[in-house]
Amino acid sequence: MKKILVVDDSALMRRVLCDIINSDDRFEVQDRAVNGLEALDLLSRKTYDAVVLDVNMPQMNGLELLKELNKRKISAKVMMASTDTREGAKTTLDALELGALDFVHKPNNAMDCRNDVFKDKLLQVLAVVADSKTPTISKAFSLDEVKASKKMVELVGRHASSVSGNKVVALASSTGGPKALQSVIPRLPKNLKAPMVVVQHMPAGFTASLAERLDSLSEIHVKEAAEGDTLEAGTVYIAKGGKHLNVQSSMGKYTIHYTDQPTREGVKPCANYMYESLQDSRFDQVVCVVMTGMGADGTEGIKHLKEKKKIHVIAQEASTCAVYGMPKSVVTAGLSDQIVPLDQIAQEIIMNVGVK
C-alpha cells in the first residue's frame, strides 16, 4: 500500500482528499500537513510514495515548499491539487518546473470534490505519480550548459547542413513532459530545417502558457498551434489542450487542423491522431520522438504511419523518464530506431532533419 502525505490548509478539503485517497485500497494517507512548513518538517524526516500538495497556503505555500525541497536536496514525488491550477497556468508550470510531476484541478468547493469525475482524476494521477521515478532535484539550464549545448549544436550543425530531404518532427509526451521539453526545445537552433509538431497531454488553457514559456527560453520559435497555421521550418507547434491536432496537406502546404473526436487512450490531445494524420503527407521522412509519459499513446499511430511513410523513431531512454510508459510501449513494439537519454534528444533531432 502506497503511503501518501496530504498538504492543504483547509480542514474540510483535507478531509475530503483523505477520504477519496483512503477509499482506494492502493493508497493510505500516512500524514496530513496544514502548510508547507509542516510538510517540510515531515519530508525531512520521512519518505512517502507521493505528496498531494495545495498551492495557496499561509506561512509557506506549495511553490515555496518545492523550492525549499530543491534547496535542501530532499526528493519527493509531488502532484499539485489546487483551485489555482486552472487560472494559474503559470503557477502550475512553475510547480512542474520545480519538480512536481503532475497536477489535478481541484473544484473551489470541497463538496464538488466528492463527484466521480474529480475522484477518478485524482486517483488516476496519484497512481501515476506514486509509481513514477523520483524526480532529480530541479535545476535551471545554467549559462555553461547553454554555451556547451550551443557548441554541440554548432558541431552537429556542420554535419546537419548536409542533410537533405523535406522532413517533419512529430513529438509526443505526457507526465514529466513539460519539464522534459525544456531539455529539448531550447537546444534546437532557429534554422532547423523542419517544422516540429508536439502533442503534450494537458487540459485546455495550459498549452498556451507552456508554448510561451518554451518560446522565451528558445532560439527556435515556439507557439500554440492555431487552426489553419501553415507549418514552417524552424517553428515548433504545440497542440492545444482539449483538442486533437492533425496535419492536413493541400496545394503543397501543410496546415494544422483540429478535431473534436472523443478521447483516445484516455487523452485529448492524442498523439496517435497526429501521427496518423501524417500518413498521406508528402514529407520524405517523419522523425517521431516519444518521451516520458504513462500509457501507450503514440505506438498505434506510429505503427500505422510506418505502413505508409519512411519514419525514424527516437524513444527517450528509461532512466531519464519520469514515467517510462509511452517510450517503453514504442520500444516493446519494435518501432524504435534509437533509444536516447533526454539531454541528447535535441542533437539527434538536428542530426536527422538538418539545419538550413
With CA atoms as reference, report the closest residue to 186 among 215, 155, 212, 208.
215
CB proximity list for 71: less than 8 A, separation 6 or greater: none
Q: Where are the beta strands (DSSP E) in the chain?
A: 2-7, 27-33, 50-53, 78-82, 102-105, 167-173, 196-200, 221-224, 235-238, 244-250, 253-259, 285-290, 311-316, 338-340
Is 343 an annotated catalytic residue?
Answer: no
Considering 94, 277, 297, 336, which one is annotated as catalytic? Answer: 297
With CA atoms as reference, report the closest residue to 120 among 20, 263, 47, 240.
20
With CA atoms as reference, report the closest residue to 5 among 43, 58, 51, 46.
51
Considering 105, 201, 244, 312, which one is annotated as catalytic? Answer: 201
* Residues belonging to the chain: 356
Distances, alpha carbon 134 to alpha carbons 1, 158, 321, in Å: 17, 37, 10
Considering 174, 183, 218, 329, which one is annotated as catalytic? Answer: 174
Is 201 an annotated catalytic residue?
Answer: yes
Is 174 an annotated catalytic residue?
Answer: yes
353 phi-psi bin (left φ>0, alpha ψ -120 to 50, beta other) = alpha
Active site residue ranges = 174, 201, 297
